[in-house]
Structure 1
Amino acid sequence: MTGPGDRPGLIDVHAHFVTDSYVRRARAAGHERPDGMPAWPRWSARAHLELMDRCGIDTAVLSVSSPGTHFGDPAAGRALAREVNEDGAGTVRDHPGRFGLFASLPLPDVDGALAEIAYAYDELHADGVVVQTHSQGVYLGDPRLEPVFAELGRRGAVVFVHPTSPVCGERSALGRPRPMVEFVFDTARSLTDLIFAGTIGRHPDLKIVVPHCGGALPVLADRIDAFSRLFMPGEEPAPDATTQLRRLHYDLAGPAFPRRLPALLGLADPARLLYGSDYCWTPAEAARSHAASFDTAPVPVPGTDWRSLTTANARALFPRLAH
């Protein structure tokens, strides 16, 4: 299929799935209202495909959203990551060309994560991995996670970073859904941690996708740079946050217009912008409106449009999807 007017169909890099088994296990671990949201969404491949066809989306790369797969018990985390990865891979097999998969890792269990990386790539042929901004309070720049990023860098992996509630989220959200505000700041917190830990610099073959138009990063990048120079003399050399952030990829899960995308364009390379729907956590009607907004918004690259630009960028990032 193709998008409206025979333009390229969108490739959705920020698309979620849930299964009944996963929801049962998450609820049993205390996530009855995940991240302060009113309820768990329902998902099926059939409903997802219907939405994709209505929105002109050719392919959606599926991932498990917050709260991830590790709820405190390492053995249970390994088993749940394997279960959702096999479920996601089954959906990819059942609908050739329509779905891809970001495999879940049972972080902060490093040995479990390394085993799941091998299984996801070598057996399930995943398109990348999804990691939460932190797992059980362990943020992505933590030195304990270095073996995981070293292996992902060796494989040239696409790493989709998805926010979760910060460790103080129940208090800081003031009773409101944490995806509204807390997610965008936890994205900035975790990516800043990756920069100052040197992880991005040590592993140049990592392909990191930052969600939600970069969260708060576009308006914080200059401030991060200034603090690294003025108040953190122990950082030798001080990381250039804006340069490192410009190397990353950004999905436009939204809403992206009218204010968030102009801020992101002050930081990001247009060649690294990607479409994202955030379905099924974003309801279908809102996802349809978001997709439609890409047909009317101005584009920073002359001679193109948002569908063709983001689709070309996604095909470059995911060679398998180019075919």
Structure 2
Amino acid sequence: MGKEQKNFKKWDTHHHINPPFYEAYAKKNGYGNVYGLPHPKWSPDLMLHWMDEANIERAVMSISTPGIHFGNDAESREMSRKCNHYMADLIKKYPNRLGAFATLPLPDTDGAVKELRYALDTLKLDGIGLLSNFNHHYFGDVRFEPVWQEANDRKAIVYVHPTRPKESIPQQLLNYTYYLKMDTAKTIISFMKSGYHLKYPHIKFVLSHGGGVLPKVMKSALQALKKEDPSIEESFEVWRKQLFADTALVSYPDVMLPEIINFFGANHVIFGTDLCWGADKYKYFIQQFSETDISMEMFEKIYLKNVNALFRGENVPYIPTKVKLHATAHEPSVTNYHLHIHPKNIIALAAKKYNGEIKMDHLNTEIKPAHANAMISFDIPEVWKLSRSERREILMQYNLNISKMKQESAINVKVLAAIDLEDPEHSINEITHCLNVLKMDGICLYVSVTGKSYHDMFDDRLLMKLAQIDVPVVIHPKASDAFPVLELAYYETLAYILCLIYSDKLAHLKQVNYIPTHTDDLLEFLGRAVNSMHYVNPKTDKPRIGKIIWELLIMKREVVYEYLKELDVY
């Protein structure tokens, strides 16, 4: 980091504390560690030391995940008050160095409203700090509306930190890299879906870790929300001036940080370190941030000016920004790998087996001239709710009938065999039959992995079979009708790729011509963060120092990141 960067004064809004009484409380309630990580060392003196090292003029303290509510409302209220008093006392001791986001005992709404009033009106804290979900209830939940009313009346700042969703996988690094990042976006979409962004328009949200994946998934979410609210895009453009994002642990200068700045705008990105949890990483991310292709004026805004305006209560405008992304290494193929066509008899068979309504709006039944050069595949989400034997029958009939349609068509198309990840023994045989007998052109692998254990996720025999065939393997979520963001099943193909990486199956990924669908470009967006998974032992969660030294320090290569940039993604 250059000298000029070091001289910037900074305000840090992503700054956690871990006082001994809180750590003891978390451990008493089953959090001896937090999602695989030990509780970090922290003290007021250590906090001030970190601040001085990074030239942080002021830090806004908060309590991080797992929060304070572990099922007992009375205990949670007591701990909330204790944390808020503790932070208020530190502010009195260091008034020019510290601020605080109050912690609330949600999902205890009555207790949260009382504590919000006390923390903001009596203790005069800077805002409130909330987790992205409380017992898996998100911001749009009707039970939280009294909190939004109080926050809106005060034009409060609400700092949002992710926590683990119900559907996540018990691996700490994958949770941080994917599921926690998704959860911040999920709770904001939930807030909008409930119409609260219109009803309570004066709350300013500070979204930690760059808003998670919000910059990439908002487009899909808005398209889905339009079915209920045709004016949602227009109302979001008005409301987005209430959204801010911090830079904590996301300051990669090539894709992630530019995307975050471009989405939130030059005036709405603020600096964050993730201290005390990020004590071993914050200097690295400050250095990464310094390499972003932005002006010195924008550095100054992000470090200090934007947050000053936010805390003064100014109406900070949203200013569209275009920070250049580094060029990717791969140009997407001109082939359309994501086209669904279903013979009419297959739709009839599925409807009969399902014994219910089959959604027809996306079901093509004929090959048309516009489909030339496409790869045709199956997509009837209702089929995956049937028994295994019923699914087998429908998929086998689909493969047979779609291959006949191709042979009889005068239009140049290719067809993908429908293969079920969760039925490995049958799928292995079906792959052989489809490629060797039916002469199909590739595979469409239908996946559902979120919430499953690693032992149940992959069958090595099926993975070996996929590695032996030299054809495209399109990955498709079974729940393709799921709501983007609000239902993680929509992004199952992304989870499939991430789980293979975390399971140390990078060699397999390189052997198979995987083409993921329904990713919203999140593979590249998360690429640098995902890269770190390759260097962690999946059995011990400990870094593999030898690989780090060789690949990162000697070869100067980020192996997974470079691989992910080369994928065809739809």
The answer to whether the superposition gives a TM-score over 0.5 is yes
Aligned partner of 1:250 in structure 2 is 245
Pairing 1:1-323 to 2, within 5 Å after superposition: 7-34=7-34, 36-169=35-168, 172-174=169-171, 176=173, 178-229=175-226, 232=227, 234-235=228-229, 237-238=231-232, 240=234, 243=237, 244-245=239-240, 247-258=242-253, 259-283=255-279, 285-299=280-294, 302=295, 304-319=297-312
Cα distance in 2 between the residues matched to 1:181 and 1:6: 31
Cα distance in 2 between the residues matched to 1:41 and 1:303: 33
Kept in 1, the 8 Å contact 2:130–2:161? The answer is: yes
Shift of 1:277: 0.3
Cα distance in 1 between the residues matched to 2:156 and 2:199: 14
Aligned partner of 2:317 in structure 1 is none
Cα distance in 2 between the residues matched to 1:42 and 1:6: 25
Whichever residue aligns with residue 308 of structure 2, its letter is R
Whichever residue aligns with residue 21 of structure 1, its letter is F
Kept in 2, the 8 Å contact 1:295–1:305? The answer is: no
Q: 1:141-183 deviations in whole A, cap 9, x for unaligned? A: 10111110011010010000111011233xx244646223211
Q: Which moved more, 1:236-245 or 1:83-92?
A: 236-245
Cα distance in 1 between the residues matched to 2:172 and 2:159: 28
Cα distance in 2 between the residues matched to 1:267 and 1:255: 14
Q: 1:289-314 deviations in whole A, cap 9, x for unaligned? A: 22233434222xx5614134431001
Whichever residue aligns with residue 15 of structure 2, its letter is A
Q: Which moved more, 1:194-203 or 1:157-166?
A: 194-203
Kept in 2, the 8 Å contact 1:294–1:307? The answer is: no
Whichever residue aligns with residue 304 of structure 1, its letter is E
Q: Which moved more, 1:84-93 or 1:3-12?
A: 3-12
Whichever residue aligns with residue 313 of structure 1, its letter is N
Q: 1:43-74 deviations in whole A, cap 9, x for unaligned? A: 11111111111111100000000111111111
Kept in 2, the 8 Å contact 1:51–1:288? The answer is: no
Kept in 2, the 8 Å contact 1:253–1:277? The answer is: yes
Cα distance in 1 between the residues matched to 2:55 and 2:12: 10
Whichever residue aligns with residue 205 of structure 1, its letter is H
Q: 1:91-122 deviations in whole A, cap 9, x for unaligned? A: 11111211100000001111101110111012
Shift of 1:17: 0.2
- Change in Cα spacing, 1:16 to 1:303, as seen in structure 2 (3 Å) is closer
Q: Which moved more, 1:52-61 or 1:236-245?
A: 236-245
Cα distance in 1 between the residues matched to 2:172 and 2:180: 14
Whichever residue aligns with residue 85 of structure 2, its letter is E
Whichever residue aligns with residue 269 of structure 2, its letter is L
- Change in Cα spacing, 1:70 to 1:226, as seen in structure 2 (3 Å) is same
Cα distance in 2 between the residues matched to 1:214 and 1:144: 24
Cα distance in 2 between the residues matched to 1:173 and 1:288: 28
- Runs of 4+ in structure 1 deviating by more than 6 angstroms, as ranges, are none
Q: 1:209-239 deviations in whole A, cap 9, x for unaligned? A: 111111111111111122223xx3x336445
Shift of 1:191: 0.8
3-state SS of paired residue (2:293)? coil
Cα distance in 1 between the residues matched to 2:182 and 2:240: 15
Cα distance in 1 between the residues matched to 2:173 and 2:9: 35
Shift of 1:28: 1.2
Cα distance in 2 between the residues matched to 1:308 and 1:225: 29
After superposition, the CA RMSD in angstroms is 2.1
Kept in 2, the 8 Å contact 1:19–1:43? The answer is: yes
3-state SS of paired residue (2:182)? helix
Cα distance in 1 between the residues matched to 2:98 and 2:235: 33
Whichever residue aligns with residue 206 of structure 2, its letter is V
Cα distance in 2 between the residues matched to 1:57 and 1:267: 26
Whichever residue aligns with residue 19 of structure 2, its letter is T
Cα distance in 2 between the residues matched to 1:17 and 1:102: 11
Kept in 2, the 8 Å contact 1:8–1:308? The answer is: no
3-state SS of paired residue (1:264)? helix
Kept in 2, the 8 Å contact 1:195–1:241? The answer is: no
3-state SS of paired residue (1:270)? coil
Cα distance in 2 between the residues matched to 1:236 and 1:248: 21
Shift of 1:10: 0.4
Shift of 1:204: 1.6
The TM-score, its normalising length taken from structure 1, stands at 0.89
Cα distance in 2 between the residues matched to 1:298 and 1:89: 38
Structure 2 gap ranges (5+): 314-570
Cα distance in 2 between the residues matched to 1:239 and 1:15: 33
